[in-house]
């Protein structure tokens, strides 16, 4: 075919292609305007529009994947109601929203990436795992926190090494998220670092570690805690007593009874309170063996307070 014929044919096709492009752009603009107008109603806090809020959310969600790019553009909002509305709509759209959300993980705006991770956590689809793993090293700690949390909710074991690494993140909130994710993924191999985390500087991290340990292999947790009771870090052993108090086993009880004879007052207090909490009505008849002989006034006060609180709660 001659170059002349090719050029003529190309010129003939050009108007059709241009028309299609213009029509496509017009349709996209129309959809964006519709999403924008509905979103104003969906996220409003005005009482007079209360009846329109949920229908507006449902209408946007019904658009499915087509609405997602326009919603992602709103993820840098500073408005709490708008942020909550976005999360609700993304969750309602569900899996069809995942491809565009994963693409948005590559955006430069850290706040947008953070919100996108939160949306992917709500959807919890395994196809988002590679993208989420890709942002777990993000310089913005909020992104790392949300990404690790999302990986836990996806319950995909490709994330296991990432969660293990996040347990030692420099930011407490990220470590907390990793502790929760370890429980969701049932990572029994992480019991040792989770026990160590019982002495974490951040309250949220150590309490989440405690909750996670209660859901993992009980025998292995007790075995690791047995060694941790001798740790040079007294906080690890003290708080390990709190974990043992939640395990209603003979081994856990015997370990706690041994700790009520410790030379360290704090350890005796933690062990005694754990035993009282586990058996508030003293059905095993053990309380007199460590409450009555206690000489330290502060420890004695803590034990008596636990006895009273336990009996009150058991009524």
**For residue 232, what pLDDT is reported?**
86
Report d(CA 135, CA 99) in Å as an integer: 16
**For residue 28, what pLDDT is reported?**
56
pLDDT digits (tens, 9 = 90+) for 291-301: 999 999 999 99
**For residue 29, what pLDDT is reported?**
64
* Residues of the chain below pLDDT 70: 1-29
DSSP code for 19: H
**For residue 14, what pLDDT is reported?**
39
Please indicate, yes or no, if residue 47 is contained in any of the structural domains.
no
Please indicate, yes or no, if residue 122 is contained in any of the structural domains.
no
Single pTM value for the model: 0.85
pLDDT digits (tens, 9 = 90+) for 234-276: 999 999 999 999 998 999 999 999 999 999 999 999 999 999 9
Report d(CA 216, CA 186) in Å as an integer: 6
CATH number of the domain at 273, please. 1.25.10
Please indicate, yes or no, if residue 205 is contained in any of the structural domains.
no
Please indicate, yes or no, if residue 134 is contained in any of the structural domains.
no
**Residue 19 structure tokens:** 């028309």
**For residue 106, what pLDDT is reported?**
97
**What's the domain range around 237?**
221-315
DSSP string, 295-312: --HHHHHHHHHHHHHHHH
Please indicate, yes or no, if residue 289 is contained in any of the structural domains.
yes
Please indicate, yes or no, if residue 227 is contained in any of the structural domains.
yes
Report d(CA 265, CA 209) in Å as an integer: 24
Please indicate, yes or no, if residue 54 is contained in any of the structural domains.
no
**For residue 291, what pLDDT is reported?**
94
Please indicate, yes or no, if residue 262 is contained in any of the structural domains.
yes
The structural domain count of the chain equals 1
**For residue 30, what pLDDT is reported?**
84
């Amino acid at each position: 075919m001659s170059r002349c014929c090719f050029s003529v044919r190309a010129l003939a096709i050009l108007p059709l292609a241009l028309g299609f492009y213009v029509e496509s752009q017009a349709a996209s603009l129309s959809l964006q305007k519709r999403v924008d107008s509905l979103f104003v109603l969906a996220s409003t806090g005005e009482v007079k529009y209360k009846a329109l809020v949920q229908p507006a959310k449902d209408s946007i969600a019904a658009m499915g994947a087509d609405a997602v790019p326009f919603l992602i553009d709103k993820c840098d909002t500073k408005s709490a109601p708008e942020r909550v509305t976005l999360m609700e709509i993304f969750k309602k759209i569900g899996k069809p929203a995942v491809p565009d959300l994963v693409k948005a993980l590559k955006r430069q705006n850290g706040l947008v990436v953070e919100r996108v991770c939160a949306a992917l956590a709500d959807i919890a689809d395994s196809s988002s795992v590679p993208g989420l793993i890709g942002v777990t090293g993000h310089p913005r700690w909020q992104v790392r926190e949300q990404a690790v949390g999302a990986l836990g909710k996806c319950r995909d074991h490709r994330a296991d090494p990432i969660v293990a690494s996040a347990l030692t993140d420099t930011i407490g909130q990220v470590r907390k998220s990793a502790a929760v994710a370890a429980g969701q993924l049932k990572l029994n191999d992480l019991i040792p670092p989770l026990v160590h985390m019982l002495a974490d500087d951040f309250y949220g991290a150590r309490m989440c570690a405690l909750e996670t340990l209660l859901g993992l292999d009980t025998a292995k947790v007790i075995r690791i805690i047995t060694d941790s009771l001798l740790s040079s870090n007294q906080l690890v052993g003290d708080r390990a007593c709190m974990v043992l108090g939640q395990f209603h086993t003979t081994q856990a009880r015997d370990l706690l009874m041994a700790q009520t004879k410790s030379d360290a007052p704090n350890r005796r207090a933690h062990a005694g309170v754990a035993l009282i909490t586990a058996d508030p009505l003293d059905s095993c008849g053990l309380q007199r063996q460590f409450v009555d002989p206690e000489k330290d006034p502060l420890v004695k006060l803590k034990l008596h307070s636990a006895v009273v609180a336990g009996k009150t709660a058991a009524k």
